[in-house]
């Protein structure tokens, strides 16, 4: 497939690619060269144009202008199957797998029409073993961990024998150990002469893995360099275009009053593919930030919804907010006790996409600020001018960049909307704040600002819980760290006693045999 003689020749050369959406130049005259057998990093903040560029290489978008040269020939990549025929494979950040089908059935779906299932299972097994990606072709995808699901995507890609493999933020869902395994696989693929285009914003990874990097900012290439010759700080400032504020933190005392108490919190799974919560106990004290690390899909969103009251508990004492048993209270009542919540998904959970920012302020605050926002008693007439005044205030406090006076939530970038959503809760000065993935998909500048705000809130005597898959973030903000795995929570440890390796170990722990499993609860309920 790949001729080892032309190892140093250009495999892919992109020149002058521009992509315009309406008035936005998502890619502006971008050049990119990928050589045979190299792992090439594509770095950039959210919204820098990485995904747009990659989608054009994979044929799901067409460039407005510019040329793509593949193995010395100018090509037009009309659609993803054309990309596959050329030898370009892609592993997406978000998997597109069917939970109810087996591994080989999922792979068969993407390969086309004339495939013999038995043969495919054998091929899957051999390819997965060859590259150190063990997979059982007959396992149901619904039963697999996120790391295993990613392996399916990679194996699916490898079965098409690609010369160029594009990986979009592959480690965002992996434990450190799983990530290390992935790196070994990628290095091996590169040794075979395959090229890898590695999209990430994690700088250490890029420095460890990649020999060249192309850095995008606002749709333009700002630099092409060897990341090993740069420092993490210099790469970051190239990505952002400015020095990033460093988050400052005093160590919390951890002796304040218990503001949130989880007492053997147990929930059965809401759907066949969601995670149960298995006897989770935790004391969250005034003045501290507790970080909940864990690999995606281990019960983070279930834990968030249980604490927020979107899922209500059978046992009133399972959750105590500010000393009041709250297990049976709904989310508005919990907010009225001083709790505040920032969910993982901004659009569609934390905010209604088509609603203006001020309306999205009302969304979360209509009960806690009833006296201010609503008039005429039970009629509940909305005082829009008051809502708008506060909305402007939050926009100013959090430095939310937007166009228009009161734009729709969907019109803001991820980072700016997240600043607004966090600001919406901080402005209430809540005594308990629960945040799920506070800076997921948020640019570095906004992320630093949000983390600082969380730390400052705790410093002023509130209790903060940060659920995050980003270990850097966990270490940056937490006084104590606990790990969620398999729906159970590890005993929280002071952050200074925690290491990445230890967290990695805890991420693999099974809580199936914990005392209060939901099954026994269900039987007694």
Partner 1 sequence: MILFLEKRANYSPLFSALSPVLALAFTLVFGTIMFSMLGVDPAKALYTYFVFPLTDAYLIEQIILKATPLILIAIGLSVCFRSGNWNIGAEGQYLIGGMFGAIIPVYFNDFQSPLLLPMMMIMGMIGGALFAAIPAFLKARFGTNEILTSLMLVYIAQQFVDWLVRGPWRDPQGMGFPGTKSFNESAILPELIPNGDAHFGTVFAVLVAIGVWFMLSKTLKGFEVTVLGECPRAGRFAGFSTKQMTIFAFLLSGALAGLAGIAEVSGSVEKLDDKLSLGYGFTAIIVAFLGRLNPLGILVAGLILALSYIGGEEAKIALQVSNRATNVFQGLLLFFVLACDTLIHYRIRLVTSSKAGGTG
Residue 138 vs 330, nearer CB to partner 1: 330
Q: How far apart are the first and last CA of the chain?
A: 61
The CA-based angle 222-226-232, given to 5 degrees, is: 80
Among 93, 281, 317, 355, binds partner 1 (CB under 8 A): 355
Size of the site for partner 1 (CB under 8 A): 43
Closest CB to partner 1 among residues 83, 206: 83
Nearer to partner 1, 360 or 490 (CB): 360
User: Which position among 294, 343, 415, 504 is part of the footprint of partner 1 (CB under 8 A)?
Assistant: 343
* 221 lines the binding site for partner 1 (CB under 8 A): no
CB of residue 218 to partner 1, shortest distance in Å:
19
Binding segment for partner 1 among 120-128, 161-169, 329-337, 488-496 (CB under 8 A)? 329-337
Per CB under 8 A, 351 contacts partner 1: yes
- Under the binding rule (CB under 8 A), the answer on residue 22 touching partner 1 is yes
Please check whether residue 36 is in contact with residue 7, taking contact to mean a CB–CB distance below 8 angstroms: yes
Q: Is 367 in the site for partner 1 (CB under 8 A)?
A: yes
75 counts as binding partner 1 under rule CB under 8 A: no
C-beta closer to partner 1: residue 251 or 336: 336
Q: How far is the CB of 383 from partner 1 (least distance, A)?
A: 10
Q: How far is the CB of 10 from partner 1 (least distance, A)?
A: 26
> Cα 425 vs. chain centroid, distance in angstroms?
21
Of 181, 220, 366, 502, the one binding partner 1 (CB under 8 A) is: 366
- If one asks whether residue 475 binds partner 1 (CB under 8 A), the answer comes out as no
Q: Minimum distance between the CB of residue 367 and partner 1, rounded to whole angstroms?
A: 6
Return the residues of window 98-117 that contact partner 1 according to CB under 8 A.
109-110, 112
Among residues 38, 178, 359, 427, the one that binds partner 1 under rule CB under 8 A? 359
Phi, psi of 132 (to 5 degrees): 65, 40
Pair 321, 339: CB distance under 8 Å: yes
Phi, psi for residue 318 in degrees, rounded to 5:
-65, -30
Distance CA 54, CA 64 (A): 14
Nearest approach, Cβ of 380 to partner 1 (angstroms)? Answer: 4
Interaction residues for partner 1, span 375-394 (CB under 8 A): 379-382
> Is residue 519 involved in binding partner 1 (CB under 8 A)?
no
254 and 464 Cβ atoms separated by less than 8 Å: no
Name which position in 26, 164, 357, 364 contacts partner 1 (CB under 8 A).
364
Q: Output the smallest distance, CB 297 to partner 1, in A.
A: 18
Query: Which token pair is 191?
Result: 């040794």
* Cβ within 8 Å of residue 463, ≥6 positions away: 256, 259, 260, 284, 285, 286, 287, 288, 290, 431, 432, 433
Burial 387-419 (b: 16+ CB within 10 A, else e): bbebbbebbeebebebeeebebbeebbbbbbbb
Query: CA 291 to CA 482: how far, in whole Å?
Result: 6
The enclosing H or E element of 449 equals helix 444-459
- Kindly write out the interface string for residues 265-304 of this chain, putting x where it contacts partner 1 by CB under 8 A and - elsewhere: ----------------------------------------
Contacts of 287 (CB under 8 A, 6+ apart): 252, 253, 254, 256, 458, 459, 461, 462, 463
Taking the complex as a whole, the smallest distance from the CB of residue 418 to partner 1 amounts, in Å, to 15
Shortest distance, CB of residue 84 to partner 1, whole angstroms? 8
Tokens 């497939």 -> residue: 1
Nearest Cα to Cα of residue 391 among 350, 356, 344: 356
Q: Name the residue among 55, 151, 164, 143 with its Cα closest to residue 107.
A: 151
- Nearest approach, Cβ of residue 93 and partner 1 (Å): 11
Asked if 332 touches partner 1 (CB under 8 A), the answer is yes
Q: How would DSSP label each residue in 370-423?
A: HHHHEESGGG-EE-HHHHHHHHHHHHHHTT---SSSS-BGGGS-HHHHHHHHHH
Contact string 43-62 vs partner 1 (x = CB under 8 A): -----------------x--
Q: Of 141-160, which residues contact partner 1 (CB under 8 A)?
A: 153, 156
Q: Does 341 bind partner 1 (CB under 8 A)?
A: yes
Task: State which of residues 149, 202, 285, 335 lies at the interface with partner 1 (CB under 8 A).
Answer: 335
Applying CB under 8 A, which residues contact partner 1? 21-22, 60, 79-81, 90, 92, 96, 109-110, 112, 153, 156, 308-310, 330-332, 335, 341, 343, 345, 348-355, 359, 362-364, 366-367, 374, 379-382
């Amino acid at each position: 497939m790949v001729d080892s003689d032309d190892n140093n020749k250009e495999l892919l050369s992109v020149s002058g690619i521009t992509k315009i959406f309406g008035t936005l130049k998502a890619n502006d005259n971008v050049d990119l060269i990928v050589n045979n057998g190299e792992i090439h990093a594509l770095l950039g903040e959210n919204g820098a144009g990485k995904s747009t560029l990659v989608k054009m290489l994979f044929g799901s978008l067409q460039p407005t202008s510019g040329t793509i040269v593949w193995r010395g020939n100018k090509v037009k990549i009309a659609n993803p199957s054309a990309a596959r025929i050329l030898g370009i494979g892609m592993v997406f950040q978000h998997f597109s797998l069917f939970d109810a089908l087996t591994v080989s059935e999922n792979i068969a779906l993407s390969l086309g029409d004339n495939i013999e299932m038995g043969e495919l299972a054998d091929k899957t097994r051999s390819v997965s073993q060859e590259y150190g990606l063990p997979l059982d072709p007959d396992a149901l995808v619904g039963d697999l961990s996120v790391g295993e699901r990613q392996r399916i995507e990679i194996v699916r890609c490898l079965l098409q024998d690609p010369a160029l493999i594009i990986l979009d933020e592959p480690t965002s869902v992996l434990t450190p150990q799983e990530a290390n395994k992935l790196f070994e696989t990628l290095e091996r693929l590169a040794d075979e002469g395959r090229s890898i285009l590695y999209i990430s914003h994690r700088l250490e990874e890029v420095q460890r893995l990649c020999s060249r990097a192309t850095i995008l900012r606002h749709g333009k290439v700002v630099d092409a360099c060897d990341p090993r010759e740069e420092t993490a700080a210099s790469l970051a400032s190239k990505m952002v275009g400015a020095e990033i504020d460093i988050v400052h933190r005093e160590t919390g005392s951890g002796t304040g009053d218990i503001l949130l108490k989880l007492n053997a919190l147990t929930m059965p799974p809401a759907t066949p593919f969601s995670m149960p919560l298995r006897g989770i106990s935790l004391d969250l004290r005034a003045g501290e930030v507790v970080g909940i690390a864990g690999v995606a899909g281990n019960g983070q969103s279930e834990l968030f919804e249980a604490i927020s009251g979107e899922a209500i508990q059978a046992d009133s004492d399972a959750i105590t907010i500010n000393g009041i048993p709250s297990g049976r209270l709904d989310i508005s009542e919990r907010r009225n006790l001083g709790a505040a919540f920032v969910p993982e998904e901004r659009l569609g959970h934390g905010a209604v996409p088509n609603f203006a920012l001020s309306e999205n302020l009302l969304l979360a605050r209509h009960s806690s600020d009833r006296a201010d926002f609503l008039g005429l008693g039970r009629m509940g007439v909305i005082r829009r001018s008051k809502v708008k005044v506060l909305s402007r205030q939050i926009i100013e406090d959090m430095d939310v960049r937007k166009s228009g006076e009161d734009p729709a939530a969907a019109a803001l970038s991820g980072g700016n909307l997240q600043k607004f959503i966090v600001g919406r809760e901080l402005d209430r000065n809540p005594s308990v704040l629960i945040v799920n993935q506070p800076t997921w998909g948020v640019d570095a500048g906004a992320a630093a600002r949000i983390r600082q705000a969380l730390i400052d809130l705790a410093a002023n005597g509130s209790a903060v819980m940060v659920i995050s898959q980003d270990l850097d973030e966990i270490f940056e903000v937490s006084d104590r760290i606990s790990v969620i795995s398999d729906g159970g929570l590890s005993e929280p440890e002071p952050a200074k006693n925690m290491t990445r390796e230890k967290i990695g170990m805890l991420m693999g722990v099974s809580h199936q045999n914990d005392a209060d499993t939901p099954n026994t609860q269900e039987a007694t309920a």
